Structure 1
Amino acid sequence: MNSAIRRLAVAAIILMLALIANSTYLQAFRAGELNGRNDNRRVRNEQFSVNRGPILIGNTLIARSVESNDQYKYQRTYSNGPLYAPVTGYYSFQFGRGGIELNQNSELNGSDPSLAFRRFVDVLTDKGQQGASVSLTLNAAAQQAAYTALGNNKGAAVAIEPKTGKILALVSKPSYDPNLLASHDLNKASDAWKALNASANKPMSNRAIKEVYPPGSTFKLVTLAAALSTGRYKADTKVNSPASLPLPQTTTPLPNENGRNCGGSDNATLTVALALSCNTAFASVGLDLGADALREQAEKFGFGERQLPELGAAASQFPGDPNAPQVAQSAIGQFDVRATPLQMAMVAAGIANKGTVMKPYLVQNVRTPDLKTVEETKPEELHQAVTPEVAGELTAMMVNVVKNGTGKPGQISGIDVAGKTGTAQSAKDRPPYAWFTAFAPANDPQIAVAVIIEDAVGVGRDDIAGGKLAAPVAKKMMEAVLGR
């Protein structure tokens, strides 16, 4: 009898210790995660009455909380909501948070451990909990230029400061108004949520970082970087560039877009091949280099990694084990190569920054209500994609693309622009994607950009090209940052 009681007592003690350990684990290690969950209604009810901190660009408030005359005490409001929605996200009683509102939630609502002293002071002074302000890296002029230039087209645009990795612009269209979701009229907010999610245009999808597309000829920069890095290729190296390239293991050849050889030659230089965006030339180079070399080079630019994971960004992809014809297609950014606009901006930025790819970031700093800085983002090197010498060769060849090749619509008077166009084929029942990636000034880069036009309004399939559609948008963004 005593033995049974002892076993029962030991079991009870073990269960009690397990319960204490679990409670300690939840309180010490998972409290922040659980409090930050979008579906935690108890915490949401409490936080919705907090004076949430603003989101700023420079000294301009793009999201803030104002006092309201209802049970929730504060109303979240967004200035130029659709312009900044891909970055700010939304703050909704029913549907939680998105974007910076989600990623920086604990800072904005004042519950972050870095704000513990501030909360203590607020208690002593009998003030309600106040959130910190979050300052972003965006350049307001570049953001507005991209948004305006994209017009009614479906697409996205990204700009990066090459030397630091700061995101200067991040635009996705069509966009949405987060004020509708922040409404305290819960029926109206619910109707807006349903309409946005039912739309075939997916206005809540951040095309700049969450959608991956075939990059088309903009990927030729990666292929060219891999080729130049071997030392066997130079800008004036002649490569096989016929009108149509026979491929191994198949009877289907790979043609140039215009059906002709490259600039009147079956053996064009790499400089000419890039300027005219000759498919056969870069497919030939890709076949020579092989899939592993192309994949390794792509990864050095950031492929395979999720950049800005805090905003739910997708990773760009190079196919795993392509056969020879698929390698040729991959070398020109087709087959299963997929990239976000952010990724292609990183390719341009890496070349601009003498071969060093910087880690992209959006949050510049976090400050308490009394302007004490509690967080400051520092630039961080991600990869050395190519040597400075190779980056210099690439830059000169990209400048030639804009001066004499397919990128002429990206020219800026008095400034050398380095760029590359792309027109990526997709499904037969949809138009191609128009791309342009560039940086400027070529000799002292201040901005690197990537633009994609997913669907152009009022443009026939045969008139879709990266130079025609995407380059003018990129030009406006670069001019905005350069003060032109």
Structure 2
Amino acid sequence: MNRPIRTLSVGCLILFVALMLNLTYVQFFKASWYNDRADNRRVTEEAYAQQRGDILVGKKAIATSKPSDDKYEWQRTYPGGKKYAPITGFMSYSYGQTGIERSQDSVLSGQDNKLFTNRLVDLVTNSEPAGGNVELTIDPKVQDAAYEGLTALGEDVQAATVAIEPKTGRILAMASTPTYNPSKLATHDFGAASKSFNNLSKDEDEPLLNRSIQTALPPGSTFKLVTAAAAIEKLGMDGDSKVYGGASLDLPGTTTDLPNLNGTSCGGEQITLTRALEVSCNTAFGQLGMDLSDEDMRAQAEAFGFGQHYLDDIGPQAKSRYPTNDGKDKQARAAIGQQDVIATPLQMAMVSAGIANGGEVMKPYLVDRVTSSSLDVIDQGKPTTIDNQPAISRDTAEILTQMMVSVVDNGTAEVASIPGVSVAGKTGTAQSSKERAPYAWFTSFAPAENPSIAVAVMVQKSGTERSEIAGGRLGGPIAKAMMEAAIS
């Protein structure tokens, strides 16, 4: 073989090997990446050509597929509507998937390996393939109370709430407002879907945002539960321990002080820790923040879940944060849930749930069961803790529970009291800036002696006058209605 032919042959061989390597790379290593791309129309059209599984709350479908008379064969619809939109998300031809539609796509589309046997049976029997069903942990009565409570706050409101079963971590309710109608994004009228999506995307109130897990803000005085837990664990305190209750607290290294909300003392220069929680005393908890080391405070916050990613069933999840505070003044402000401390409603529900569960913080989850189209159970949610050790001891949890019950019976959380039921709670009002109104927070659990529900409510924005904004006033009635729904 002469040299030019040999050179050409070698070149062709190299190109052939390169082609085979690239083909292998694309079809094997990059297959999932291409399949998951929102702009992969082939995969999208295949998904519309078969029946997608249902998303269920109890026995009721809140997302389902119905036969369509156009070329796409199946139309995704949302009977759960706006109430469940932050959970279900949407499935759109042009804009992909969000919420449970996204996180459980492999099950709903029937492509999950757990459904391999079902796919094989469909193939052998020549049956139409169908996706699996996803059953959620949501309690419809609690969800109704959550949604109705948020919408009752009025127009132009940004708020969210979450409820957890303390012993298991099952999410009983998750609501966010403003919300949207996912069916308008799932429609096969792509022009109408595009118009709806653009309007929602441009809305300054961000209705596509699930504030329950995606909005992290200063938690204000609800964070005093974490500070109290650290004080009991690290300083050996209890509900009767004496703490500073003066009208203002000097902050070392600054020319400012930390005042109480009303500018007066909390009942004297020395008050009990229980009384400090009852009246949400800034000076008491600011002093505790300085008495504790910043490392101890951060470790306590992280033991409750701050800084962690703990929700796998839906996303994205904003991380709650307790940052490093270099200075006693910053430690004092952080101890009352200000400074750079931020938390999601889910995180503050987990703080209450951890106290309610004797110190063990359970990993929250939304997917209760996964079933095949023939209703065979192929996967089941399992309660697990977020860490290998409790966030606080059982003794500390009992002390905090008694203190939180006293906040409802004798303090700022009286609005959440339920006749004949022992309720534990804590209010919070977090300052933002002079330009915008404070954030209102409320967290609670009930029944205190055998808790079945822990709740957190966050009102980010409302039409309430600045002087009237308070966690108990805005969030308390919502939390009460949710707890009553769970224990009725």
Alignment TM-score, normalising by the size of structure 1: 0.95
Does structure 1 residue 168 correspond to structure 2 residue 172?
A: yes
CA–CA distance in 1 between the matches of 2:333 and 2:150?
29
Change (3 A) 1:30 1:323: farther
1:479 aligns with 484
Which segments of 5 or more consecutive residues in structure 1 lack a partner in the other structure?
Answer: none
Counterpart selection for 2:284 from 281, 292, 303: 281
Counterpart selection for 2:224 from 203, 210, 220: 220
2:301 aligns with 298
Change (3 A) 1:97 1:87: same
Does structure 1 residue 387 correspond to structure 2 residue 390?
A: no
CA–CA distance in 1 between the matches of 2:163 and 2:476?
13
Q: Give the deviation of 1:232 after TM superposition.
A: 2.5
CA–CA distance in 1 between the matches of 2:38 and 2:354?
36
2:74 aligns with 74
1:23-422 equivalent positions in 2, closer than 5 A: 23-24=23-24, 27-28=27-28, 30-151=30-151, 152=154, 153-263=157-267, 265-309=268-312, 310-383=314-387, 384-422=390-428
CA contact (8 A) 1:307 1:315 kept: no
CA–CA distance in 2 between the matches of 1:292 and 1:58?
44
Q: Letter of the aligned partner of 1:68 in structure 2?
A: S
CA contact (8 A) 1:36 1:106 kept: no
Structure 1, residues 409-450: CA drift from partner, whole Å, max 9, x if none? Answer: 010111111111000000211111110001100000000000
Q: Letter of the aligned partner of 2:353 in structure 1?
A: A
Q: Give the deviation of 1:9 after TM superposition.
A: 7.9
Choose 57-66 or 30-39, whichever is displaced more.
Answer: 30-39
Q: Give the deviation of 1:113 after TM superposition.
A: 1.6
Change (3 A) 1:25 1:362: farther
Q: Secondary structure at the match of 2:266?
A: coil
1:450-461 equivalent positions in 2, closer than 5 A: 450-457=456-463, 459-461=464-466
Structure 1, residues 110-159: CA drift from partner, whole Å, max 9, x if none? Answer: 11121122112212222222110110000111111011011233200000
CA contact (8 A) 2:38 2:94 kept: no
Q: Secondary structure at the match of 1:200?
A: coil
Q: Give the deviation of 1:241 after TM superposition.
A: 2.0
2:449 aligns with 443
CA–CA distance in 2 between the matches of 1:247 and 1:305?
30
CA–CA distance in 1 between the matches of 2:455 and 2:71?
45
Q: Letter of the aligned partner of 1:205 in structure 2?
A: L
CA contact (8 A) 1:284 1:328 kept: yes
Structure 1, residues 338-371: CA drift from partner, whole Å, max 9, x if none? Answer: 0000000000001111000010000111111111
The count of residues paired between Structure 1 and Structure 2 equals 481
Q: Percent identity?
A: 50
CA RMSD of aligned residues (A): 2.0
Choose 37-46 or 326-335, whichever is displaced more.
Answer: 37-46
Q: Letter of the aligned partner of 2:424 in structure 1?
A: A
Change (3 A) 1:88 1:3: same
Change (3 A) 1:17 1:471: farther
Q: Letter of the aligned partner of 2:136 in structure 1?
A: L
Q: Letter of the aligned partner of 1:196 in structure 2?
A: L
CA–CA distance in 2 between the matches of 1:447 and 1:402?
16
Q: Secondary structure at the match of 1:172?
A: strand
Change (3 A) 1:211 1:12: farther
Q: Letter of the aligned partner of 2:301 in structure 1?
A: A
Q: Secondary structure at the match of 2:107?
A: helix
Q: Letter of the aligned partner of 1:227 in structure 2?
A: A
CA contact (8 A) 1:307 1:314 kept: no
Q: Secondary structure at the match of 1:177?
A: coil
Choose 28-37 or 231-240, whichever is displaced more.
Answer: 28-37
Structure 1, residues 188-230: CA drift from partner, whole Å, max 9, x if none? Answer: 1111001101111110011000011100000000111111111
Which segments of 5 or more consecutive residues in structure 2 lack a partner in the other structure?
Answer: none
Change (3 A) 1:248 1:474: same
